[in-house]
Each structure stands twice: as structure tokens, then as C-alpha cells.
Structure 1
Amino acid sequence: MISVVAFLGNYGNEYKNTRHNAAWLFAGTLPFYSRLNFLSKFDGELASLDYSEFVNLVSNSYPELCKDDGQIAVPKNAPAKIYFLKPQTYMNLSGQSIGQLCKFYKIKPEEVLVVHDELELKNGFFSLKWSGGLAGHNGLRSTKDALGTADFWRLRFGIGKPADINIADYVLSNFTKDEMPLMETVFKKAGVLLVKALLSSDPSRLLTQWGKVNVNA
């Protein structure tokens, strides 16, 4: 099961609303985000929830995931805790923080979900992905180097790939006022996916439905 959620981004007010910080923007929309007590650790900001506490929180926020008795089924192989990490190394060295966390708590790469922006997906799309290529994303490359494998989960937010602007300038530019309402819709639906993934004993079962989602469809 997934026990680590790593939100990739760049720290500093100048990067706050940039496309490269889509994961951090998403994190802030999660209903339980205010209950996360982030502390400086592993070259990042780290928060954790006991799995039972996480279940209670999402039961209130996502009643559609509950059974008829109002409870959420807890998998037998559920981790004791779920860790939420925001590396503070800048994007290109994100794996440094993720690697430290996994090494300290003896967490396997397949228990890690990395949340990030994705140039290869258009605006309005998000995607759950297992392993595979890195699509030139430096944060993913750093994570692969730190974990020694690309076999980790990804939650990808499409930001589109422009043809007439330098990629580095584009990913470090702010979402426009016209783009933000669409991203808010994406984040809301992706929040359901994230919770489902953290509640699933086998996240691969989600790939058929959530492998690529277009909120405009």
C-alpha cells in the first residue's frame, strides 16, 4: 500500500502559484490539509497521520467512499502511518528528501506516490501512473536516482506543453486567472483519487478508471 505522498514543488513566494508547483497547490485543497502538522525534516516539510486518523478524517470529507454503515473499510495491510512530504530542496533535488525519508523509515519505492506537474498532459487532465518513463521531469529523475528505481506511483497534473515558449520559463510561470478555475476542478476530482489510492490495498486496480482523466469530458 501507499504510505508516502510526496508533493513536488519549489519553495519561495515567487514560485507559489507557478505551474511547477501544481502539486503544492493541490495539497492545499485537500479537506484534511489543515490537520497536517508539517515539521522541518529530511530536507523538507513532513507531516504524518496515523492510518486510523486518516480514515476518520476522510470519512467526514468523502462520505461517498463510505459503506452503508458510514464506515470506510480498512485494508488488512494498511500502514501504521501515512507520511506527507513537501521537499524543500527545489524541484531538481526532490529525490534527496524522498530518499532520506524512505531510508529512515524503511519504506519501499512501491509505497511512494509522487505528485507532480506533467507537460505531456493537457490542461484539464490528471492521471494515476505506475512506474514508466520520466518525461524529462527533473523532480522525477531525482526521485528515481534516490530510490534506485522508477517503480513508484505518480499522480500527474497536466499543464500542457507550449510550442512557442521556453519550457523552463513556462513551468516557472504562474497559472493564469482563466486557468485556475479549471485547475480547481481538477484538484477536487483528483482529491478523490488520492484518497482512493491511500485506501486501496492494490492501487493498480484504480488504473483502468483513473489512468487518464479529462475533467472536461
Structure 2
Amino acid sequence: MSSNTPIKLIVGLGNPGPQYADTRHNAGVWYLEALARKHNVFLQSDKRFFGDMARIKFAGEEVWLLFPTTFMNRSGQAVGALAKFFKIKPDEILVAHDELDLLPGQIKMKKGGGLAGHNGLKDMHAHLGSNEFWRARIGIGHPRSLNLQQGVADFVLHRPSVEQQQAIDKCIDVLLKHTELILKGQIGQATTHIHTECA
């Protein structure tokens, strides 16, 4: 999982609006907002790109932060528009998103591959014409793995328990700690650290 291609766009997937802000489906946005705070920037609405955006400087290069505000299932509209405008290739994009197949407290890095039924990722694939973007899969668990009598659609639109939230937050902190390596394109090294610290 090595890469020497620096990341130029970081996307946090979720749904817009205060009623969704603390729900599991917005785990990718939690990371994006934490990254923005770390760099003292604010995500601001930009209608050209159908989302809230910020720009940070890293090693003299611009890196864009994007929260598509089109609702999850149309995330590709925002990502595709920004990537086309700034000529950003799929392998220069990192997408942070919630992952049902991982427990809270786990994060896995992945490039390409199956999109596991995630509609936001499917829409990105459609708009980019490729699934060769990087993904930070933030574990939120599955109703079955957490022994909950709840449908998936209902589960992702509810808040995690306090214990689950703490586990998710801990791993978002780990991802933040190693984001500098990711931005440098040292994703293999970052992945080793992240997978070890959020197993």
C-alpha cells in the first residue's frame, strides 16, 4: 500500500444539517472538522463546488478540505466538480467515511477496491470515473456486530453510545496524528501506524 503521490484533496463524507451532525454517518466529517481546527481554518460554503470548503498549506502546496453538502448519496457531484476545476487526480484524493464493517475504535486505509454498498462512494466513483481514490474507513460498527435490533439505515442516522463515540474519537485522533505522512504521499508508512494504533 505504498504511494509517493501527495494528497491534494481531503473529503469528509456525511449529511448536512444540525440534525445529522452527531450521527454515525457523519464520522468522516468529524475527522475533516478536526483537521480544519488543527490548521486554524474554517469550512465555508462554496456553491460552485456544492459543499463547505477550506484550504490549508502543506509543504508549500495547497490542500483542499471538502464536506459535500449535497447529502451523502450525491457526494460525487461536489468531489467531481472540485477535482475537475483544480485538476486533481483520483489517487490525490483521500475520502474519510463511516464504515459498517469495522468496529468503533478501528480505522483501515484502502485504495480502490469494492465500495461495500456505500452510496456516497458509489456516487464519487460515477463522477470521477474511477475508484482509485484513497479511503480512511472509520469504524462505526454494524447493528449485528453490536447486538442491536436496528436496521442499518436507522443505525447510521443515530448517535453512537458514549463508549462508541470515545472509541471513534480516539481513532480520529490517531488519523489526525498521521495525516502529515498522508499529505506527503507516505501513505504506506501512515497506514502501518494507523492500523497498529487502531486495530
TM above 0.5: yes
**1:169 aligned to which of 154, 171, 181:** 154
Change in Cα spacing, 1:93 to 1:28, as seen in structure 2 (3 Å) is same
* 2:57 corresponding residue in structure 1: 50
Q: Which residue of 2 aligns with 1:108?
A: 89
What residue number does 1:3 align with?
Answer: 8
Corresponding residue for 2:187?
203
| Cα distance change, pair 180–3 in 1 and its aligned pair in 2 (3 A) | same
Cα distance between partner residues in 2 of 1:181 and 1:203: 25
Instruction: Give the RMSD, CA atoms, in angstroms.
Output: 1.9
Change (3 A) 1:214 1:158: farther
CA apart distance, 1:34: 5.8
TM-score by length of 2: 0.86
User: How far did residue 46 of structure 1 move?
Assistant: 1.1
Match for 1:155 among 133, 136, 159? 136
Give the letter aligned to residue 25 of structure 2. Answer: H
1:89-123: CA deviations, max 9, x gaps? 00000111000000001111110000000011111
1:20 aligns with 2:25: yes
Contact 2:36 2:42 in 1 (8 A): no
- In the TM superposition, what is the alpha-carbon distance from 1:186 to its structure 2 partner? 1.2
Matched, 1:132 2:113: yes
- Identity %, equivalent residues: 36
Unaligned runs of 5+ in 2: 1-5
Q: 1:121 aligns with which of 97, 102, 107?
A: 102
Tell me: CA distance 1:121–1:38, structure 2 relative to 1, closer, same or farther (3 Å): same
Query: What's the CA shift for 1:196?
Result: 1.6
Equivalent-residue separation in structure 1 for 2:156 and 2:50 (angstroms): 23
The Cα offsets for residues 42-72 of structure 1, whole Å up to 9 and x where unpaired, read as 000111122247xxxxxxxxxxxxxxxxxxx
Displacement of 1:38 in angstroms is 2.5
Letter in 2 for 1:117: D
Q: How many residues align?
A: 188
Give distance in 2, aligned partners of 1:157 and 1:22.
7
Aligned to 1:38: 43
Partner of 1:146: 127
SS of the residue corresponding to residue 163 of structure 2 reads: coil
The answer on whether the counterparts of 2:55 and 2:62 sit within 8 Å (CA) in structure 1 is yes
Cα shift at 1:188: 1.1
- Partner-residue secondary structure (3-state), 2:107: strand
How far off its partner does 1:36 sit? Answer: 1.5
Q: Secondary structure at the match of 1:178?
A: helix
